[in-house]
Structure 1
Amino acid sequence: MPSLRGRVTLATVAASAGVSVATVSKVLNGRSDVSESTRARVQEILREHEYVGRRPEPVVDRAAVELFYQGVLNSYSLEVIQGVVEAGQAADVDVVVSAHPERAQARSASTGRAAPWIREMTANGRRAVIGITSELTAADVAALSRARLPLVVVDPMNVVQPDVTSVGSTNFAGGMAATQHLLSLGHRRIAYLGGPPTSGCNQARMNGYRGAMEAAGAPVPKDYVWMREFLYDDGLAGGAALLDLPDPPTAIFAGSDEVALGAMEAARARGLRVPEDLSVVGFDDTQVARLASPQLTTVRQPIREMGAVALRTALQLAAGEKVDSHHVELATQLIVRDSATEPARVSS
């Protein structure tokens, strides 16, 4: 096979495959009047040499921003998406929602080439990128920077570089407020049922919990802190583990509303009543908190506003404007409903 040096063109691909330029063009355009063996040979050469070809400049009537998420969509991420989309409508900006690509697609930053998903966003005329609870690598961030695509992350799972712009809430203060509420009701055996140990927002909520417990002189046994993900099934498993302890907690502070609902179901499966036998406080104040039975006491994050701030910040960066801070925290608020009360008295 002839070596393809310099810029790869249709003519060089055709010469390497031993076919005409017209045949290569037919393969690129998906025409059916090409034999399967010829099509396979041309496609192999195109793949080997990463032929992209000249793409027409995208006709973009409105600016477009890519919004990607990682993992399973849940009540929290759906509300963030709604906040971004609503802010996009107000700013006359299109928001394109996609799942985060698999790690296997990422290229090392040392190659000097953007990962395929980043090249595609650039080709499609995206102005900026917003990620929801996504775990980005240094290579991802470097590739986005080389592509001149501003990045804003909502509640990042990790912060690989200190200058990555992010939007979150006052997670530490929220964790402290939730725990202080349970302490004020008379609970001392309070457990924390949280999300991924490496997640920044999870660590802040847990530290708020620990801070409130330490200030009250309430002990935190090692088994009283259980962390996995922010999903219902994790709350179910974690709630079961906590309630099956020899000395189970009388209250659980859950790192998300879905985790809280899972813990409540674990309690019901053991014949325990919420809140009479077990008090539960969540975090987020998504729609599921109001649909729960009993309705969930929780820490409200301004989730849709977080999405809106992320969109506005991304547009500022895309316009070359400076932002006041690389990390924005919006205030949380404790919402008291029906899932927490005084601990049950044990008769002597």
Structure 2
Amino acid sequence: MKAAIYKTYGSPEVMEIGDVDKPFIKDEDRVLIKVVSASVNQYDHLFRKGYFPTRLENGLTKPKVQVLGIDVSGIVEAVGRNVQKFKIGDHVFGSCVGSHAEYVCPRQNVLTIMPNNLTFEEAAAIPCAAQTALQALRDVGNIKAGDTVLIYGASGGVGHFAVQLAVYLGAEVTAVCSTSNVEWVKNLGAHHVIDYTQEDFAHNGKKYDVILDAVGKRTFFSCLRSLTENGIYITEHALYPKYHPIQLMIGSFIGSKKPKIHLAKPNDSDLDILRVLMEKEIVRPVIEKCFPLNEIVEAHRHVESGRTKGKVVLKIE
């Protein structure tokens, strides 16, 4: 089968289209999916670039797993003997490593049925980014109605879902983005929008119960004065050098304000929650660009720029 592969770490140009073995069902709880769409995430950029923490998992000198991608939407072609939730022909979406390929074979507990009002491209934009935002706000930030929440990087993949989910959870939401995205982010439901090119939220005297840095641009200490007495700072980008664990460890012992690292835990329960929210049009994915698989280099370049508006999606089929 065709897949986007990388045999060495480096710039987007290390990506190429090649032939790899088609997966098959070895475990009884797996599902074989013909991939229609997948998205490109910061995860893909970090692993392809070879940031040191990722090399500990994927090989110090060259990648052991050479097909990237962690989001998928597609059509079920076969199911394991213990799979009861899905049948051949179902349209599904979810999480799995290696989705930048024509077929994947994930476990059933990281998949669910696609929202009935979304395209394959829209469904592929959801899993990683939306689960990341949901779990960060609900489980790490423990936000409740009336809390004040600031989303830094509100126009990005995780950020645009975080704005919508924080509003749904009842928070008063302040979004931070660039000038060109201010009106768009307002339309996502944010109560207040700060243009970071005009104002640094850390110096306006306002305080927030939760600050979610969705793009890896702010540190805990730069946000300290903007947190309430028991406020929580959450970063999704612990792999970047500025988020060295020592800094977060030190921060954990300073007063009652706490820094938290969060990495998404894919599961079908949260995907089912998101599916319902999508079908009720409470939350919606926004896709900035779709690339065919053979333009994988351009897709990586765009994500690496750090200026995506919503999600970047690959059309595999």
Name the TM-score, length of structure 2 as normaliser: 0.35
Between Structure 1 and Structure 2, which shows a larger proportion of helix residues? 1
Name the TM-score, length of structure 1 as normaliser: 0.33
Name the structure, 1 or 2, with higher relative contact order (CA <8 Å, separation 6+): 2
Between Structure 1 and Structure 2, which shows a larger proportion of strand residues? 2
